[in-house]
Amino acid sequence: MKKLIAGVVLGVGLTAMAHAAGDPAAGEQNAAVCAGCHGQGGGQPVMSAYPKLTGLGENYIYRQLASIKNGTRTVPEMTGLLNNLSDQDLQNLAAYFDQNPTSVNQADPELVERGAAIYRGGNLASGVPACSGCHSPNGTGNEPAGYPRLSGQNADYVAKQLKAFRDGSRAGTPNAQIMVDVAARLTDDEIAAVANYVSGLH
């Protein structure tokens, strides 16, 4: 597992160096279509099953957009939306969404304690590592490594993605194998608890 993580982090570092930084102003010009699902600026999705795009990390957002465009990550709602955008356009969109302010949600108090235990300490019995090791103790992620911000993300979206990693339907993108291995060890109750916890984490 340690070798896998080290290899992925190295690969992500090389990927990050391979593309130039995006231009937020240019990205805003192509972001209007995104508002239909993700809200103005990308931080107020119209449904809790859609992600907040704000503050996720430019590197992470760019790689996800590129993966959706080339088909290695399937998001039915985004079919065809990126086809006419260049690689630079995707970088610009990533820069635009990353710079926009994000907000946290109100977590369910009944799930916070269990969610915090998993996020901060994992589950030794089942081999689940602490989420904070990659996504930081306060949920702000790790931009150089391409690990996204989880703080304030919609709980329904986080739970949906963890289940997608667990069943292998989200497995083809950089860093995905790490999450596939982690999610395979999570129960539905643990997913619900940790998803709730990060939605209110700040």
β partners of residue 147: 142
Q: Residue 151: is it exposed, middle or buried by C-beta count within 10 angstroms (0-12/13-18/19+)? A: buried
Q: Does 34 show up as a binding residue in the annotation?
A: yes
Q: Is 37 annotated as a binding residue?
A: yes
Q: Hey, what are 55's tokens?
A: 């503050």
202 annotated as a binding-site residue = no
Give the separation between CA 141 and CA 123, rounded to whole angstroms.
Answer: 20
Establish whether 78 is an annotated binding residue: yes
Q: Which of 159, 154, 153, 151 is nearest to 183 (CA)?
A: 159
**Cα within 13 Å of Cα(47), Cβ side:** 7
Separation between Cα atoms, residue 188 and residue 120, nearest integer Å? 18
19 among the known binding-site residues? no
**131 annotated ligand binder:** yes
Distance, in Å, from the CA atom of 54 to the CA atom of 123, rounded to the nearest integer, reads 30
Which residue ranges are tagged as binding site?
34, 37-38, 78, 131, 134-135, 179
Which residue ranges are tagged as binding site for heme c?
34, 37-38, 78, 131, 134-135, 179
